[in-house]
Structure 1
Amino acid sequence: MSTLLLFSRSFFLASNGRRQLSNVGFIGLGNMGGHMAKNLIKKGYKLTVFDVNGAAVSSLVEAGANGASSAAEASKNADVVISMLPSNQHVLDCYFGEKGVLSSVKKDVLLVDSSTIDPSISEQVSTAAKKIGARFVDAPVSGGVNAASAATLTLMVGGSKTDFEDAERVLVAVGSRVIHCGKVGAGQATKLCNNMLLGISMIGTAEAFILGERLGLDPKILASVINTSSGRCWSSELYNPVPGVLDNAPSTNGYQGGFGTALMTKDLGLAQAAASRTETPSPLGSIAYQIYRTAMGHGHSKLDFSVVYQFLKGKQ
């Protein structure tokens, strides 16, 4: 590209008050992040990716991304950095580590963390980002692996209005709904409330179908009634925990893939910590947390969280 064209493009972006956001660093290529990264490539973004799993990086390189050997390398030339990581500590290591994001990013970069973590961690990263002239939003997602693959995720964003608007321009490539929930941390708070309800509703759905089975009901018929009646919910209609009811649900695939029991347990624990901190009564959330912790103790940690159906049936 000629110098004149480069200048013209920069002038166009500046004159419209819109930053260039074409170079994306993506960190965390697991069940969700891998699909999100591939959808960004499909939409024409130039990606540099990093994950501790070398095979995951290789898969994205084959899809058109550039591979990196660290979070810092993936971030150093990026206009936007997106992270999708399992836990509080992973996010802290990603941003604050010796080869972390904050050690290499350029001024005014937009940092987007789509992990599900404690809101206070998002606030901590945001404060550190501001000190080096970077911007930060938290943008956890909902919808599961199928939605990540289909680019129909819901993203809950916490940050300033300006930063949200810039993030939205990129995030529409991975989701069908991008919602501004408030200040930094509000996206995480929204996600924790959502996932607490999801964990509770999955247990309720599992209990109802176990009872139906023991009363001699066909689970497909029971599902058809529930899903057109007052018991209808996402767990029964789109993610049914009974094998064979839905062809594309993890339950029909041996509870492989999907949203792991360990991750649901983590999110329920975060919700309980928030409930305790704010002195909010959460009896069902607390019970759900204990049920999933026990399910993990019986070897279900790596299986999809809908495996609680088998756990409650006594099939350990």
Structure 2
Amino acid sequence: MSSTVAFIGLGHMGGPMAANLVKAGHRVLGFDLVPELVATAGAAGVQPAGSAAEAAATADVVITMLPAGRHVLALYREQGLLAAARPGTLFVDCSTIDVADARTAHEAVVAAGHRALDAPVSGGVVGAEAATLTFMAGGGEAEFTAAEPLLHAMGRKAVHCGAAGAGQAAKICNNMILAISMIGVSEAFVLAESLGLDHQALYDVASTASGQCWALTVNCPVPGPVPASPANRDYRPGFAAPLMAKDLGLAANALRAGGVDAPLGLKAAEMYAEFAQGEGAGLDFSAIVRTLRPGGPHQNGNPA
């Protein structure tokens, strides 16, 4: 059954996601503060709206894909999105934001007479374009069931993780695993280089042994072994280092707030924050390998 969807935030992720909803037969009204992004989405069949509130006014479902929690909360409350929507509208926030902000957003949506689901994604721009994203959802079972057809139009897998905020919790935990894995894989390749071991030889062993992981077999941080990895495209981002730094910052905040002892997670957050503010600003997160080679800021484990 087709729905009318308001899609707010048509950037690198939101634009392709909205386009895939159109391909699945849904009517999509789109808005973004950047006119060029609205035009690009329009070329893919998304109907341009003059404002976020205008898009939401006739929608069955409102999907947001925004940079941070403050943007989501401001849009919901101060910019009138909740007030513009019809009673009972389902709000699905696909942004990656702080767990506390997600719960606050959920409460605001419910208080305004609507339904809420936090559903951040994993899979990057490639997954958004190919409709192979994984959605991690937090909220009620009924809300998840209602959103499922849309989530599956934009992705390959959707997991109901629990109550409000659980989707965001799953996202930051997953990305902490990914960051630590990428640093570990990168360190292994740098060690292999120092020992005279060929990249392909290490890959051929580790990819079928106990070192196998996504950071190695899909997003390999060195050129050669995985032709589709960003390392073979001068580290043009699939998942940009600043986005990884953002997610790790959210994880670090949660670790400190919960009193959780996670030295590797905190170290990864520190490394990616430094990298994203410097040479990694426009690169894929796998380019962290560059900082680990001789002469890099983390040679011998020493910070810059």
TM-score normalised by length of structure 2: 0.93
Give the Cα separation in 2 of the matches to 1:272 and 1:315.
24
How big is the shift at 1:244? 3.1
User: How much does 1:52 deviate?
Assistant: 2.0
What does 1:45-124 correspond to in 2, within 5 Å? 45-98=26-79, 100-124=80-104
1:5-44 Cα shifts (integer Å, max 9, x gaps): xxxxxxxxxxxxxxx7610011112222122111111100
Tell me how far apart the structure 2 counterparts of residues 67 and 218 of structure 1 sit (CA, whole Å). Answer: 51
Q: Contact conserved, 1:114 with 1:139, CA < 8 A, in 2? A: yes
| Residue 133 (structure 2) aligns with | 153
Q: Per-residue displacement from partner, 1:133-155 (whole Å, max 9, x unpaired)? A: 11110001112222222211111
CA offsets 1:187-242 (integer angstroms, 9 cap, x no match): 10011110111111111111111111222222122112111010011000001111
Provide TM-score, normalisation by structure 1: 0.89
What per-residue deviation string (whole Å, max 9, x for no partner) do you get for residues 245-274 of structure 1?
Answer: 322222211222311111111111111111
Contact 1:21 1:170 (C-alpha < 8 Å) held by counterparts: no
Distance 2:120 2:151 in 1: 11
**Distance in 1 (alpha carbons) for counterparts of 2:236 and 2:247:** 19
Does residue 245 of structure 2 align to residue 272 of structure 1?
no
Q: Provide, for residues 155-199 of structure 1, a one-character-per-residue CA deviation record: whole Å limited to 9, x for no partner.
A: 111011111100112111011111111101001001111011111
Matches within 5 A, 1:1-316: 22-98=3-79, 100-313=80-293, 314=295
C-alpha contact 1:50 1:74 (8 A) present in aligned 2: yes
Q: Percent identity?
A: 46
- Paired residue secondary structure (2:42): helix
- Supply the distance in 1 between the matched residues of 2:240 and 2:121 (Cα, whole angstroms): 15
Return the alpha-carbon distance in structure 1 between the equivalents of residues 292 and 81 of structure 2: 42
What displacement does 1:278 show? 1.3
Do the aligned partners of 2:69 and 2:102 also contact (CA within 8 Å) in 1?
Answer: no
Q: Which residue of 2 aligns with 1:6?
A: none
Deviation at 1:315, TM superposition (A): 6.0
CA distance in 2, matches of 1:184, 1:103: 21
Q: What SS does the aligned partner of 2:250 have?
A: helix
**CA positional deviation for 1:68:** 1.9
Match of 1:172, SS state, is helix
Deviates most, 193-202 or 213-222 = 213-222
Structure 1 alignment gaps of length 5 or more: 1-19
CA distance in 1 between partners of 2:10 and 2:225 (Å): 30
Aligned counterparts of 1:34 and 1:297: Cα–Cα separation in 2 = 26
Separation in 1 of the partners of 2:75 and 2:285? Answer: 26
- When the two structures are aligned, how many residues end up with a matched partner? 296
Task: Name the aligned partner's letter for residue 19 of structure 2.
Answer: K
CA RMSD of aligned residues (A): 1.6
SS in 1 for 2:278: helix
Greater alpha carbon shift after TM alignment, 240-249 vs 160-169: 240-249
